[in-house]
Amino acid sequence: MFQESFKYYKARDPPPSFENVIDTDKAGAELDCRLQNYSSTAGNNATFPDLLDSSSWRIFELKNRPGLIIIKNPFTKHSQRYWMTRCICDYPKHPNHTNLPDAIVDKYALRSTREQFDWWATAATIEDPADRRKLLKALRWTTLGYHYDWTNKVYDESARNAFPEDLSTLCRHFAQVLGFVRFRPEAAIVNYYPVGSTLAGHTDHSEKNLEAPLFSFSFGQPAIFLIGGHSKEERPDALLLRSGDVIVMTREARLCYHAVPKVFHCPESERSQRWESPDEQPEVQTADCRSTATTGAFADYIGLARVPFRSCFAAVPTQE
């Protein structure tokens, strides 16, 4: 059942109907979701720079998937752009790990070593659009903190770097709002999805603490997210995720099969992610990133038709 749904929403010709997709922005969503109220847990101190006040968040739990929580975009435009910039300009750098093969790095690094290679800065200077697009599409994931061993599907204490402080603070803020007051993120995977790419059905069972929540923040183009049960024989539910939406998997939802069968263009999303003026550029930690953020390559990558992206980072939780 899961694979059938995945193939249906992945199809291009004919394209799938979104008739049965759960869209929490549309009337009738209450048939599939419960609107939750966490204000009593959060108290009056649950504020964070460039996020909407948590008392105004629209938080849903899927009725058929207990523990699957959807937070409708609580980010301001400035905050969305900040996190996009961090995902694109900062996180793919050493000592974080990426999927970029040696052949790609050797081709574009010129005289620099792999440790010195700056994926984004290199792509932004490539004049040939086809060549630039090839390098941009080559990056599919970056790992932060504990680096995931994709072969053995484990996290190894020996493969670990410092977890970004701003991302840790963000995740802990969301955890506080939801009542997980002792939550501490230690690892993240940033996934990069060009339009037309997919993420196959899988479960997230490598983390030691399965009681704590797993956060997934999505920026860029919209996507269909499938969430099923503990077996692929169960038919999944399909959700529409837009830029800024947050998925939180808690309790039994942590071991449910989930996937992304479709990432697609949305002209409205592309317009909303443009900078209207240089003054609207986000403050980021890397000067080089600020100097390249106004280039056409950056505009293409965050939402225009050529190389739009979808980036999710899921904080792998432990509890103190």
Give the residue among 210, 203, 172 at the shortest CA–CA distance from 51. 172
Enumerate the known binding-site residues for Fe cation: 202, 204, 258
C-alpha 103/C-alpha 83 separation (Å) is 29
Could you give the 3-state DSSP secondary structure of residue 48? coil
Residue 294 bridge partners (DSSP): none
C-alpha 23/C-alpha 25 separation (Å) is 5
C-alpha 51/C-alpha 39 separation (Å) is 15
303, 254 contact by CB (below 8 A): no
128 class by beta-carbon count within 10 Å (0-12 exposed, 13-18 middle, 19+ buried): exposed
234, 228 contact by CB (below 8 A): yes
Enumerate the known binding-site residues: 202, 204, 258
Quick count: other Cβ atoms within 10 Å of Cβ 281?
17
Give the residue among 142, 316, 312, 299 at the shortest CA–CA distance from 242. 312
C-alpha 72/C-alpha 57 separation (Å) is 7
C-alpha 258/C-alpha 199 separation (Å) is 9
State the SS3 of 111-126.
Answer: CCCHHHCCHHHHHHHC
Q: At 259, give phi and psi (nearest 5°).
A: -165, 165
